[in-house]
Structure 1
Amino acid sequence: MFKKGSKLYSIFTGTCPKCHEESMFKNKNPYILSEALSMHEKCSNCGTKYKIEPSFFYGSMYVSYPVGIAFASAAFIIAFFVFKASLITVFISIVATLIICLPIILRLSRNIWINFFMSYDKSLAKK
């Protein structure tokens, strides 16, 4: 399921959706905020252009909402049901989770968005 060749592999590793060989992002660390969304123009392995059209990644905003909800839900479940925290503590944990995980949410959203439009091509992968 998470093996090379699957969309989940590309989404969670941030690799090229066509060949799964190169990271789409210039810096693999999402917490260097000045470079969090800085992407290569195209894949150096297969030549796939990441920005299919101008403003292509604006669509990832639609994906970031449910991804953020998933992170917030996980924070709620852990804080409320596992740690039996009060509602104010649960609220603070949700907000803190969303702030801390924002760079990851943004990158995941971009990865999911581009994988809607591109699929893995085994012939482009390095041997």
Structure 2
Amino acid sequence: MIKKGMKLYSILFGACPKCHQESMYIEKNPYILTDTLKINDTCSHCNTRYRMEPSFFYGSMYVSYGVGIAFALVSFAISYLILESSLLVAFFSIVGTLIAFMPIIMRVSRNIWINLFMNYDISLVKK
């Protein structure tokens, strides 16, 4: 079970990496493409600044590559190895998966990137 206080919680749900009390994103639905990467400036609960410096999230592009490869490998394994399709079908499965999950891959990559630099702080949670 994934609970608040775990980095995985912040990564999967886009919660503030310091307090896990609210979403970093203005729009929770990543498939509203105009707002996929729009992020609040600070957390309204703990006042954590999400953009520590200008262009901070450019580093998440490197993480995005790895996350995209993971999605592609899962797609390949399901289509080619489990469903025993042809390589051409497996290729189109990978392309379709990457297109369909692009907003999620971008957000998860940003979440991983910011969680590399910030840790959960239990003292920020009201008891």
Residues paired across the two proteins, number: 127
Q: Which runs of 5+ in 2 are unaligned?
A: none
Give the equivalent residue in structure 1 for 2:30. 30
Q: Which runs of 5+ in 1 are unaligned?
A: none
SS class of match (2:27) = coil
Give the equivalent residue in structure 1 for 2:72. 72
Give the equivalent residue in structure 1 for 2:106. 106
RMSD of the TM alignment (CA)? 0.8
Displacement after TM superposition at 1:77 (Å) = 0.2
Give the equivalent residue in structure 2 for 1:120. 120
Displacement after TM superposition at 1:125 (Å) = 1.7
What percentage of aligned pairs have identical amino acids? 62
SS class of match (1:110) = helix
Q: What are the Cα deviations for residues 66-89 of structure 1, in whole angstroms up to 9, with x where unaligned? A: 100000000000001111111100
- Structure-1 separation of matches of 2:58 and 2:70: 20
Amino acid of the structure 1 residue aligned with 2:48: T
TM-score by length of 2: 0.98
TM-score by length of 1: 0.98
In the TM superposition, what are the counterparts of 1:1-40 in structure 2 within 5 Å?
2-40=2-40
Amino acid of the structure 2 residue aligned with 1:90: A
Contact 1:18–1:48 at 8 Å: present in 2 too?
yes
Segments ≥4 residues shifted beyond 6 Å: none
